[in-house]
Each structure stands twice: as C-alpha cells, then as structure tokens.
Amino acid sequence: MRRTLLALLAAMGLVWLVLLAQMAYTHYETMGTNPGVRQLAQGLARPLASMPDPVEARALVRGMAQTFNAMRLDVELLQGEKVLLQLQDTRGQLFHSSAADLPAVALAGPSGHAKMVIAGRPHWAAWETSGAWRVLVAEPLLSDARLLSFMGEDLAASVLLALPLVGLPLWLAVRTGLRPLARLGAQIAARSAHDLRPLQDLPPERELRGLAQAFDHLLTRLRAHLAREKALVHDAAHELRTPMAVIATQAHVLLQAPEGPARARASEALMHAVERAAHLSEQLLTLAALEEAPTPNAERQDLMALLQDCLAQRMRWADEMGVELSLEGPDTWVLVFDRQLLWSALGNVLDNALKHGCGPGAGRAVQLRVGEEADDVVVWIADDGPGIEAGEQARVFERFWRSPRARSSGSGLGLTIAQQAMGHLGGRVSVGGGLQGRGVGFTLRWPARASG
C-alpha cells in the first residue's frame, strides 16, 4: 500500500509538471501573438480618435494609467510592476508619459506589438494610432522563475485538492483488487514444502487465473524434475552397489591373502572396481550438471581441431586394441559453439564405439565424418563392430541401459550424456547403421546457423 501511495503521489506530481508546462507554453504563446497590452492599446485608442484636444487626450491617458496600476496592486504577482503608457502624436512627439523621466519610445509603424527594452528592462509593448494620436502600452516582462513559481503555487493548490478525490477511490480499488491475490498467496503459503499438487481452486478472476495456471505448470515441472532425481539416485545406488561390494570383498581378500597370485588377483580386481566406481561417479556428476540446463558458453573456434584433439586423446587406447581411427572432413571449419558440451557428446559416443564396437573378435575401425546437411552441422561416428539390434536401438539413450549382448561393462550413461549435451546445443543425436553394412553409427547434428 505504501508503494501504491508513492506511485499516486508521483503521478500527481507528474500531472502538476505537465499542467505547469502547458500553462507556461500558453502564456508565452499568447504574449507572442496577442498580448493583453495589445488589447489595452486598442481599447484606449478608440476614444482618442474623437479627442483632438491635447489636454483631453492627456487627461484620458493619465487616468487610464492610474486605473491600470491601481488594479495591479491587488494581484500579488504584479505588485510593483507598473504599466507604462505614453501618448504621442503621429510624428512621434511625446505629449504624456506615465513615467515622467522617460523620453518618447521610438515606435515602428502606426500599430504593432513587440518585446522591447524600455529603460533598461524588457517589456511586452503594443501601440495603436487613432486620429491624431498614437498610444503606447508597455508591461514589464516578468522573469521566468517568478512566473513559473507563481503558476506552480497556483496549480499546487488545485492538485492537492484533487489528491484525496483521486487517491481515495484509487486506494479502495487497489485494496479490493488485491484481495483475490492475497487469498491466492495465503493458499500457497499454507502448503508444506513437500506438497507439489496442483492448486485445488483456481481464482475466478481472469488475470489471476493465468498466474495460478502458470504456478500449476511450474509445480508439474518440479514434480517431473524430482521424479527424475529420485530415479537417478535410485539407479545410481543400484549401480554403485556392485563395485562397492567388489571393493569390500577384494579389500578383505587383500587383508587375508599372503603374497602371491591370489593377492595379485585381488589387488587387480580391487583397482578395477575402484576405477569403475570412479568412472560411474564422474558420469553421474556430468549427467546431473547437464540436467541443470547449463547456459551454453559459445565461442568461435575450429571444429576440426576439436575433433582431432578428441581422437588424439583416445589414440593409445585404440592402438592397444588394434583399432584404426580416421577423420574425414575439411582441414578447418571455424564455427561458434560450446566446446565443453560438444566435447562431452563426442567423447561419450567415441568411447561407446571403442568399448562396445571394437576389440578382439569385433570391429577394427572407427570413422568420423564431418559435413553439412540442410543448414545443419553433421558429425557421423561409425564402427564396423557387432552393432545394435533394431529392437534395442530405441533404448540406447536410456539411463543405465546396457544391452544383454554387451561385450564389456559400462555405466550405461555415456549415450544419455551425449543426448543431453546435444540438446543444449540445440541439436540431437540419432542411431543408425555403421560401416560397410556392419556395426552402428551415431549422427550428431546441430544447426549451423546457430554456430556462426
């Protein structure tokens, strides 16, 4: 409510400023085109037309000057600011001046109005010729600060009077309008931290109904997110159970076994279990980070250099298995992409090919092919290994899924991570046929237009 009051005061202040600017503009516009002194000069010139006698004409001008200046004493703004009247003949000879020590003011033409300096001070001036006489009426020009101060004070009283007339209905309207929002807030606040069910009663107000529906959609996404996290924790605990059991068993064997082959086998099994647990933990952390929807950190860089680095990191592994790694594509291809996301996707697909598609009794080649199709960057990674059954291809991206025919153990997370990473790049990864009608191939595709 305090904020509403401040907003109302600010609005009234803005109205005051706008009205003040409009009044000032109107004043200066009027003074420049049809000032009040012009009307006074015209009104005074009419009776002078029938007064050829200088005595009568001088008496009329003197009396009018006294009347005008007496009237101005009643206006606070004009107190001390006397109107100047001069009576001249058509040749410019001075017959009367309300300021006794002021000589005749030179006038341009028989009639007119202008801003002129008289006795060292700016004046709004107007003059008219009627019969044998020319009369000048000049009013001292008020300073801008004084004029605006007077107008502002006059307007302020009106604005302050209007404030309660506008503010009270507005306050009542805001208070009444906020009641449904307060009820909705109370309904949400009354929930426990674990209650993610949709709201039972949506507010009838159209504006709040949209807010409540958006809140329900948020709760739906939270429920789905928590369900995924719960499933991940459950699956992770299940997957870690095996290496942890192996570690415990082999550690016990190491403690009991004497030096010899049995101790060596236990030590090797222990190291393998530790490596498997460490790899699984690393994969879980990577997947969790990707599911948090990281903001892509896209930079301009060479895609081919990244692919070469990715292959070089696995060259020793491939040599040990007798696998040939090859790369087909341009020498360089500078694009804008997130290196970490693409590295994660490429690395996990390559590791999958080397681990499950190559080795003794399996494939001997892994090929990377780079190109562009329909405004997409395409990287095809294929092997000539045993491949994946058509009925199993739809499941390869599921978390912790491993084919019953898998040649080696794995976490079952690599392809899931690749799919998540490609999704954050605005692309996708799909599975298909491999090399020469054998093996399996994975296609990584993302928009080239988003890559520079």
**Residue 136: which of 122, 123, 120 has the closest Cα?**
123
- Tell me which fold the domain 297-451 belongs to: Heat Shock Protein 90 (3.30.565)
**Residue 160: which of 304, 359, 19 has the closest Cα?**
19
Domain ranges in the chain are 34-142, 206-290, 297-451
Please give the Cα distance from 58 to 61 (Å, whole number).
5
pLDDT tens for the chain, 452 residues: list them.
577 667 777 777 788 888 878 887 776 776 666 577 888 888 888 998 888 898 998 899 889 888 888 887 777 666 667 888 989 998 889 898 888 778 888 888 888 888 888 888 888 888 999 888 999 998 888 777 777 777 777 777 777 777 777 777 777 777 777 777 777 777 777 788 777 887 777 777 777 777 787 888 888 888 887 777 776 676 666 556 666 776 777 676 667 767 777 677 777 767 766 766 666 666 666 666 666 666 667 888 899 999 999 999 889 988 888 888 999 999 999 998 888 888 888 988 998 888 876 756 566 889 999 999 888 899 999 988 887 777 777 788 777 666 655 555 556 777 888 888 888 888 999 988 888 878 889 999 998 864 44
pLDDT at site 159: 77
Sheet strands (E) in 184-297: none
CA separation (Å) from 261 to 253, 267, 446? 12, 10, 52
Residues in contact with 166: Cβ distance below 8 Å, sequence separation at least 6, in sequence order: 8, 12
pLDDT at site 371: 92
Q: How many CB atoms lie under 10 A from the CB of residue 130?
A: 21
In order, the DSSP letters of 388-419 are: --TTTGGGTTSTT---TT-SS---S-HHHHHH
Q: Let me know if domain 206-290 sits in CATH 1.10.287.
A: yes
CA dihedral 38, 39, 41, 42 (to 10 degrees): 120
What DSSP state is assigned to residue 294? P
Q: How far apart are the first and last CA of the chain?
A: 50
Q: How far is CA 333 from the centre of its chain?
A: 33
**Residue 57: which of 37, 36, 91, 86 has the closest Cα?**
86
Q: Across the strands, what pairs with 113? A: 126
- Tell me which fold the domain 34-142 belongs to: Beta-Lactamase (3.30.450)
Please give the Cα distance from 272 to 292 (Å, whole number).
31
Please give the Cα distance from 306 to 39 (Å, whole number).
87
Q: How far is CA 296 from the centre of its chain?
A: 18
Kind of pairing between the strands at 324-328 and 365-373: parallel
Contact 232, 292 (CB under 8 A): no
- Please report, as a single letter, which amino acid is at residue 417: I
- Scored b (16 or more CB within 10 A) or e, 6-41 reads eebeeebeebbeeebeebeeeeeeebeeebebbebb
Q: Across the strands, what pairs with 104? A: none
Helices marked H in 292-362 — which ranges? 303-313, 315-321, 339-356
Residues in contact with 211: Cβ distance below 8 Å, sequence separation at least 6, in sequence order: 184
Q: What angle do CA 97, 98, 101 make, to 5 degrees?
A: 65
**Residue 136: which of 84, 100, 93, 99 has the closest Cα?**
84
pLDDT at site 452: 46
Please give the Cα distance from 132 to 50 (Å, whole number).
9
